[in-house]
Amino acid sequence: MTGRPSRAPLYRTIQSEIQRDILSGRLKPGDWLPSESQLRAQYGVSQTSVRRAFQELQRLGLVERFHGRGSIVASNEIRAMSPMLGLGRELRQRGFAIRPELLGNAEEPAATAVAEALDLEPGDTVSHIERRYWIGDDPFVFLDHYLAPQPGIDFAEFTGDSLYAFLSGRDAQPTHARERVSAVTLSAAEADRLQVAPGVAAMLRERTSFGADQRPVEFTRYILRGDRYHLDIDLRSER
C-alpha cells in the first residue's frame, strides 16, 4: 500500500490499494490489516474515509471486521451445502429478472483443466456452450459450460435458456454437484463480456455436476459481477 494521492474519492483510494494487495496475493487470508488510526496517518484522511473503505471491502467479501480488534483478509473459499439449482433458477428465486443470451455452442478438444474435471483425457471432444445473463441493460454473469459426450444427446439442439431443463428432458439431469466459489480479477476479455473495467473484482463459481452413475457430466465456470452479486448463508446453532 503506497498512500499516494489520487483524484478518486479518498475512501476509494484506500479501498483500491488494499483490494489490489489482497487479490494479487500480497495479503493472504487471515492477515491482519493496518488499523484505522494507522491508515488515517498514512493517507492523511478522516476516520470516516477509512471506515467507508473497510465497509466497501467487507461488502465485497474481501475482509472480515472484528469490533475492537481490527480487520483481517477474508478467506476466498466458501463451503456450503444447498439445494442443487441451475444458476438461472437460482437467480430468479433471488428475485432477479434475467434475460439469457446464447453466445456460442460448439464441440472442441478438452483443455487439461476441463478434462480433469470431466474425467476425460486432454483433447477428448466436449461440447462448449457459452452464455450470458442480463439484468435490464447490464450483463450480470457469463457462463462457460463444458459437457461430456452422452449417448443420444445432441447439445447443438440447446437454445440457451435452462441447461438443466434441457438435460432433464432427455433423462440426463445431474443428481449432485460440487462447487467452488472464489474471488478473481477480470481479464480484458472477461471484463469486455461483463462491460466493466479490466482488473475489477468478480466472483468465480466453478461447478462439476455428476449423474446417477457418479460420473461427471458437466463442468461450468460462472463469472459474476462483484458489484451485483453476493452470497447469503444462514447459520444455525446446533444447540
Whether 36 and 112 share a structural domain: no
- Count of C-beta atoms within a 10 Å radius of residue 123: 12
Q: How confident is the model at residue 9 (pLDDT cuts 50, 70, 90)?
A: confident
Whether 26 and 117 share a structural domain: no
If we measure between CA atoms, which residue out of 197, 188, 185 comes closest to residue 223?
A: 185
Q: Is residue 141 part of a domain?
A: yes
pLDDT of residue 156: 93
Write out the DSSP string of 152-186.
Answer: T--GGG--SS-HHHHHHTTT----EEEEEEEEEE-
Q: What are the residue ranges of helices labelled H in the chain?
A: 10-23, 36-43, 47-59, 87-93, 112-117, 163-168, 188-194
pLDDT of residue 79: 42
Give the tens place of pLDDT for each residue, 129-181. Answer: 999 999 888 898 999 999 999 999 999 999 888 888 898 888 888 888 888 88
- Does the structure show a pLDDT above 80 at 67? no
Model confidence, pTM: 0.61
Give the tens place of pLDDT for each residue, 118-137. Answer: 989 999 999 999 999 998 88
Q: Is residue 69 part of a domain?
A: yes
If we measure between CA atoms, which residue out of 230, 231, 206 comes closest to residue 220?
A: 206
Domain count, the chain: 2
Strand partners, 201: 185
Q: What are phi and psi of 37, to 5 degrees?
A: -65, -40
Q: Vertex 142, ends 139 and 144: CA angle to 5°?
A: 165
Q: Is residue 233 part of a domain?
A: no
Whether 117 and 181 share a structural domain: yes
Whether 69 and 110 share a structural domain: no
User: Is 73 strand, coil or helix?
Assistant: strand
Q: Is residue 105 part of a domain?
A: yes
Highest mean predicted confidence (pLDDT) among 12-16, 75-79, 104-108: 104-108
Q: How far apart are CA 117 and CA 146, in angstroms?
A: 9
Q: Is residue 185 part of a domain?
A: yes
Domain boundary among 73, 95, 125: 73
Q: Is residue 179 part of a domain?
A: yes
Q: Is residue 4 part of a domain?
A: no
Whether 32 and 93 share a structural domain: no
Whether 182 and 66 share a structural domain: no
Q: Is residue 238 part of a domain?
A: no
Question: In which domain, by residue range, is 31 found?
Answer: 10-73
Whether residue 157 contacts residue 126, with contact meaning beta carbons closer than 8 Å, is answered with no
Q: How far apart are CA 101 and CA 193, in angstroms?
A: 12
Q: How confident is the model at residue 237 (pLDDT cuts 50, 70, 90)?
A: low
Domain boundary among 45, 73, 101: 73
- Radius of gyration of the CA atoms of the chain, in A: 21
